[in-house]
């Protein structure tokens, strides 16, 4: 199971040894899923983005935090729910498949407030979401990422910064869908024929990817093409230490050779 940002690509930049590594894994007929905390895009978008980069990928292999939020709502509100969203089109499109979206004129009807990265976030959206939560709507966060990697080595504010503002305003802690919580892992276990002990989770951020793997009870691998430097990897405390560390995605093939053979 691969994280996307910092493992497969960084912004629009394909990372080293990704295409050949994934092609080799396909050749071995090993089950794959791609996971991302980024809720701004649909699974179709991520699939098409990887294909433009020369990577074979299918929509049902993508697990985004927005898709996982929709899966959670489908399970917990099977007759449909009324939801107020702070987020972008990816979150809206995934949730529209399972619930009714309410606007600022219908805040009293909101049963859930679902919050993700929103690059047009403003005070009005904060106030509306706050009002809905204080009127009783359940608070769901797609993720708590403080930042995310962009092209050229730049970091940009993540969805967690928006969630933190709303948590401070309401005094309410959200249910978190994305990593480091294990819900996205549980989605895969619930919908695919794979066992927990057969999973290797590969990510670039110890505090989210590695912790998510540990909480879900799966093996973890930290790849050093994202936010974690080699020096930081050597200094990680036990609770953040992965089962293995590789410089780039090509190092995963050595792990597979040791555990699965050729």
**pLDDT tens, position by position, 180-202:** 999 998 899 888 888 999 999 99
Burial class (CB in 10 A: 0-12, 13-18, 19+), 77: middle
- Number of structural domains the chain divides into: 2
- Choosing from 147, 176, 205, the residue where a domain stops is 176
The CATH number linked to 239 is 3.40.50.1000
Residue 228's CB is within 10 A of a number of other CB atoms, namely 23
pLDDT computed for residue 65 by the predictor: 95
Residue 64 domain-assigned (yes or no): no
Residue 192's CB is within 10 A of a number of other CB atoms, namely 12
Residue 30 domain-assigned (yes or no): yes
pLDDT in tens, 203-233: 999 999 999 999 999 999 999 998 899 999 9
Helix 89-96 with 65-76: angle, nearest 10 deg: 30
H/E element, 26: helix 18-27
pLDDT band at 145 (very low <50, low <70, confident <90, very high): confident
5 carries an active-site annotation: yes
Catalytic-role residue among 3, 145, 204, 209: 3
- Enter the tokens of residue 29: 């007929």
pLDDT computed for residue 169 by the predictor: 98
Share of the chain above pLDDT 70, in %: 98
Q: How far apart are CA 242 and CA 219, in angstroms?
A: 8
The CA-atom distances, in angstroms, between 231 and each of 7, 139, 235 are: 18, 37, 7
Residue 138 domain-assigned (yes or no): yes
3 carries an active-site annotation: yes
- Domain hosting residue 148, numbered range: 79-176
Residue 22 domain-assigned (yes or no): yes
Residue 203 in 3-state DSSP? strand
Q: How far apart are CA 192 and CA 182, in angstroms?
A: 16
Burial class (CB in 10 A: 0-12, 13-18, 19+), 120: exposed
Residue 49 domain-assigned (yes or no): no
Residue 24 domain-assigned (yes or no): yes
Look at residue 80 and tell me whether its pLDDT is greater than 90. no
């Amino acid at each position: 199971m691969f994280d996307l940002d910092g493992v497969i690509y960084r912004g629009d930049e394909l990372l080293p040894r990704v295409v050949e590594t994934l092609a080799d894994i396909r050749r071995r007929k090993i089950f794959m899923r791609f996971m991302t905390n980024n809720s701004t895009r649909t699974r179709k978008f991520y699939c098409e983005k990887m294909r433009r980069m020369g990577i074979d990928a299918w929509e049902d292999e993508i697990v985004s935090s927005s898709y996982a939020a929709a899966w959670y709502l489908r399970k917990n509100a099977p007759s449909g729910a009324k939801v107020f969203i702070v987020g972008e089109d990816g979150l809206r499109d995934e949730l529209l498949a399972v619930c009714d979206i309410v606007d600022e004129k219908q805040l009293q009807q909101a049963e859930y407030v679902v919050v993700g990265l929103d690059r047009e976030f403003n005070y009005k959206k904060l106030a509306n979401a706050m009002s809905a939560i204080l009127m009783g709507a359940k608070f769901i966060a797609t993720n708590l990422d403080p930042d995310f990697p962009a092209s050229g080595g730049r970091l940009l504010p993540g969805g967690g910064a928006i969630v933190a503002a709303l948590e401070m305003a309401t005094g309410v802690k959200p249910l978190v869908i994305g990593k480091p919580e294990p819900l996205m892992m549980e989605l895969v276990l619930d919908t695919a024929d794979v066992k927990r002990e057969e999973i290797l989770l590969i990510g670039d951020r110890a505090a989210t990817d590695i912790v998510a793997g540990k909480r879900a009870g799966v093996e973890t691998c930290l790849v050093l093409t994202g936010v974690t430097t080699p020096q930081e990897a050597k200094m990680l405390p036990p609770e953040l230490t992965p089962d293995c560390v590789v410089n780039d995605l090509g190092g995963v093939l050595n792990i597979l050779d040791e555990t699965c053979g050729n």
